[in-house]
């Protein structure tokens, strides 16, 4: 039998160390999960490649001007909403949130780890998808302002969609969250103003689409890369969604 | 402590009161649904009691959670790890959250986890999950550990290994509170036992005290048929009974001590009775439990 010192020596690791460990763990688990990688990388990549090669999809001589910002918006939704909701729902179901909430990490550290992992994944998405778009010939009119707005709208969109994702995960059963998070991802992708510009949506739906966080994100990014500014309306819509979704998640999220 | 509201309300823990001395092992023993998990999780700060007071290491489990978390190790009754995480990886992650964790490799060896350290949680057997969960409870070097049914579903060897570990924790000065519905576990492992049923403590004490508090023991005597049972009963302490359910087969219910046995054999000698066999049955915690609750544990 190995001798092992079991005597008490309680103490928490530093906050920075706990957060780093939790973020790294979340990242490892996400990257290892095939379905999450399909939603966050494979689908956006395929859309970018297929969309840029076919004019059936977007009727323009510069399809990437429309497509690339939309795919970046989709990437934001895939990590902050779909992937986050599904992962968190199962953590809740299997008592991971409960167990880690009883360690020095605590609930705030759990949330911090998620924020960190989502942010790192999104930067990787931006690099991979943006890089591929440029390689395919994307030359935005306003690359610098576009990237700055990508970060700003990305932050607001992540708070809005992250709040909605956590709201699902923290109130519904894990299976229901899994189904809904995927379904909403597909619906927003097709008809939520994310990938296709507003003028490709039915006229009656346009008013609604501009008020959706997905519509605001998609339109805002397309405008920002084309003109250097997304317009005030889009920023306000996203900011309102961010505040409401975060508050709702804080109010109704159940850890067990 | 109750769950739900209105008509569907369940009173899971009802005026339960108990204390735990530092450096001891305390067992909370009770049948399924007795309120063991609810009690222990209230101490762990997972739920706030609607009435009454809980203090753990002198602190409020909910209000002082931040101070308590590093000092208290928790083993949930089930779950607590990602499905896709490897056993060793989970343990290393837990260790990284504490200031002075146990070295992970020796702990893995000590708990016999080497063979499945690289297996993902979803593919572990029930017993392997239990061992990981136990390791997760102690890796941060807590001074107090709560173990919720640490040996449920374990094979005899693993059960023994868990008992040894709890015993060793006690020798290192760690306080342990565990729940169980195994009588022998409570009797062998713990310094104090609280038997709970329907959310209340129905008996407390050391295992020996609990058994000694109990009713009388049984002596089974075999010899020739037709003895004068009244005469024999008079020879024994007050309250003793003697029955002859089958010819030559006597059941004596009485407190048993050496003097009582001496009087029994003395009476036999005086009446020229040659005893074939005499068997003293001591009460176990299980008998005591049945006596207190009138029901089967498992
Ligand atoms: N979340 C809950 N909601 C409603 N009732 C519950 C809940 N958890 C436990 N109970 C009920 O409370 C009682 C005590 O449960 P528990 O503490 O888990 O018992 P034990 O751990 O001793 O088996 C049981 O009747 C159980 O059905
Ligand atoms: Mg229980």
The pLDDT tens digits of the residues spanning B234-290 come to 988 888 889 898 899 998 888 777 888 899 999 999 999 999 999 887 766 777 777
Centre of ligand 2 to C-alpha B33, Å, is 7
Gap between the Cα atoms of A72 and A78, Å rounded: 10
> Are residues B100 and A256, on separate chains, in Cβ contact within 8 Å?
no
- For CA atoms B96, A162, A58, A146, the dihedral sign is negative
Task: Let me know if residue A5 belongs to a domain.
Answer: no
End-to-end CA distance of chain B: 24
Q: Look up the domain containing A246 and give its range.
A: 18-252
Please report the pLDDT score of residue B286 as a whole number. 72
Pocket perturbation via mutation, ligand 1, pick of B33, B149, B177 by most ligand atoms within 8 A of CB: B33
Rg of chain B in Å (alpha carbons): 24
The verdict on the CB of residue B1 being under 6 Å from ligand 1 is no
How far apart are the two ends of chain A, measured CA to CA in Å?
38
In a domain, A223, yes or no: yes
pTM, 2 dp: 0.86
Superfamily for B2-212? Answer: P-loop containing nucleotide triphosphate hydrolases (3.40.50.300)
Please give the distance, rounded to the nearest whole angstrom, from the Cα atom of residue B17 to the centre of ligand 2: 18
Q: What is the pLDDT of residue B8?
A: 56
Phi/psi for B124 (5° steps) reads: -75, 150
- A9 DSSP assignment: -
Query: Is the CB of B47 inside 8 Å of chain A's CB atoms?
Result: no
d(CA A109, CA A23): 9
| CA B161 to mean position of chain CA atoms | 16
Q: How is residue B109 written in tokens? A: 């060896």
Task: Evaluate: CB of B297 within 6 angstroms of ligand 1.
Answer: no
Tokens of B267: 């009476």
Q: How far is A13 from chain B (nearest CA, A)?
A: 4
B169-198 pLDDT per residue, tens: 999 999 999 999 888 888 889 999 998 888
Q: What are phi and psi of B28, to 5 degrees?
A: -105, 110
B12 lines ligand 1 (CB under 6 A): yes
Nearest Cβ partner of B99 from A3, A11, A99? Answer: A11
pLDDT at position A103 over 90? yes
Q: Phi, psi (5° rounding) for residue B242?
A: -130, 130
Which residues, including other chains, have CB under 8 Å from residue B15's CB and lie 6 or more apart?
B52, B199, B200
Q: What is the ipTM of this complex?
A: 0.92
Strand stretches in B165-232, DSSP E: 175-180, 192-197, 200-205, 217-222
In this complex, the residue of B81, B84, B172 whose CB is nearest that of residue A7 is B172
Q: Residue A6: which pLDDT band, with cuts at 50, 70 and 90?
A: very high
Q: What is the pLDDT of residues B77-120, one digit of tens each?
A: 999 999 999 999 999 999 999 999 999 999 999 999 999 999 99
Residue B205: how many other CB atoms lie within 10 Å:
15
The token pair at B39 is 């009690």
pLDDT tens by residue, B118-158: 999 999 999 999 999 999 999 999 999 999 999 998 888 88
Q: How many CB atoms lie within 10 A of CB A195?
A: 24
CB atoms within 10 A of CB A150: 23
pLDDT of residue A41: 97
Give which of B120, B37, B34 is closest to B78, Cα–Cα. B37
Closest CA to B260 of B196, B203, B217: B217
The reply to whether ligand 1 has any atom less than 6 angstroms from the CB of B34 is yes
Does B45 score more than 70 pLDDT?
Answer: yes
Give B-chain residues touching A23 at CB under 8 angstroms. Answer: none
The pLDDT of residue A45 is 97
In the stretch 89-128 of chain B, residues with CB closer than 8 A to chain A read: 93-94, 96-100, 102-103, 106-107, 109-110
Distance between CA atoms of B144 and B229, rounded to whole angstroms?
A: 55
Which residue's CA lies nearest to atom 13 of ligand 1?
B12
Rounded Cα distance between A200 and B85, Å, is 44
Residue A216 lies in a domain: yes
pLDDT band for position B20 (cuts 50, 70, 90): confident
Domain boundaries, chain B: 2-212, 216-282
Tokens encoding B193: 């036992």
- For domain B216-282, the CATH architecture is 2-Layer Sandwich (3.30)
In chain A, the number of structural domains is: 1
B142 contacts on A by Cβ (under 8 Å): 8, 10
Residues 6 or more apart whose CB falls under 8 angstroms from that of B106 comprise A2, A3, A4
Mean pLDDT of A133-138: 96
Quote the pLDDT of residue B298: 43
């Amino acid at each position: 039998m190995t001798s092992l010192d079991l005597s008490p020596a309680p103490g928490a690791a530093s906050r920075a160390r706990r957060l780093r460990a939790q973020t790294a763990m979340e990242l490892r688990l996400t990257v290892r999960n095939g379905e999450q990688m399909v939603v966050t990388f494979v689908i956006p990549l395929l859309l970018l490649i297929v969309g840029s090669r076919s004019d059936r999809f977007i009727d323009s001589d510069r399809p990437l001007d429309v497509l690339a910002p939309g795919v970046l918006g989709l990437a934001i939704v895939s990590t902050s909403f779909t992937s986050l909701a599904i992962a968190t729902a199962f953590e809740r179901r299997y008592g991971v949130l409960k167990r880690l909430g009883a360690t020095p990490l605590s609930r705030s550290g759990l949330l911090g780890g998620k924020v960190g992992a989502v942010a790192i994944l999104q930067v990787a998405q931006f690099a991979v998808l943006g890089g591929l778009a440029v390689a395919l010939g994307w030359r935005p009119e306003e690359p610098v302002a576009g990237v700055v707005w990508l970060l700003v709208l990305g932050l607001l969109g992540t708070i809005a969609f992250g709040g909605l994702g956590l709201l699902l995960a923290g109130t519904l059963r894990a299976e229901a969250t899994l189904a809904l998070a995927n379904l909403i991802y597909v619906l927003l992708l097709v008809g939520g103003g994310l990938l296709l510009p507003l003028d490709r949506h039915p006229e009656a739906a346009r008013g609604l689409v501009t008020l959706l966080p997905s519509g605001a994100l998609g339109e805002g990014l397309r405008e920002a890369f084309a003109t250097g500014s997304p317009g005030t309306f889009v920023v306000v819509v996203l900011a309102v969604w961010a505040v409401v979704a975060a508050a709702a998640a804080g109010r109704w999220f159940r850890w067990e | 402590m109750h769950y739900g509201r209105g008509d569907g309300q369940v009173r899971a823990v009802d005026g339960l009161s108990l204390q735990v001395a530092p450096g001891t092992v305390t067992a909370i023993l009770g049948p399924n649904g007795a309120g063991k998990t609810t009690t222990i999780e209230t101490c762990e700060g997972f739920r706030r009691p609607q009435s009454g007071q809980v203090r753990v290491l002198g602190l409020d489990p909910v209000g002082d959670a931040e101070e308590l978390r590093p000092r208290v190790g928790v083993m949930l009754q089930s779950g607590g790890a990602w499905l896709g995480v490897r056993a060793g990886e989970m343990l290393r992650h837990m260790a990284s959250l504490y200031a002075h964790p146990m070295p992970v490799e020796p702990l893995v060896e000590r708990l016999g986890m080497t063979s499945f350290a690289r297996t993902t949680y979803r593919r572990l057997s029930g017993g392997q999950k239990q061992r990981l969960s136990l390791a997760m409870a102690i890796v941060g070097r807590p001074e107090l550990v709560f173990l919720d049914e640490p040996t449920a579903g374990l094979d005899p060897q693993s059960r023994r290994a868990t008992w040894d570990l709890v015993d060793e924790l006690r020798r290192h000065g760690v306080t342990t509170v565990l729940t169980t519905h195994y009588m022998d576990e409570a009797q062998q492992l713990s310094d104090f036992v609280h038997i709970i049923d329907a959310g209340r403590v129905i008996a407390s004490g050391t295992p020996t005290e609990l058994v000694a508090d109990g009713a009388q023991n049984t002596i089974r005597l075999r010899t020739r048929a037709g003895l004068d049972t009244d005469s024999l009963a008079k020879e024994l302490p007050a309250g003793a009974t003697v029955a002859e359910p089958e010819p030559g087969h006597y059941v004596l219910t009485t407190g048993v001590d050496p003097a009582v046995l001496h009087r029994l054999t003395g009476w036999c000698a005086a009446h020229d009775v040659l005893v074939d066999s005499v068997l003293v049955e001591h009460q176990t915690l299980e008998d005591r439990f049945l006596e207190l609750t009138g029901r089967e544990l498992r």
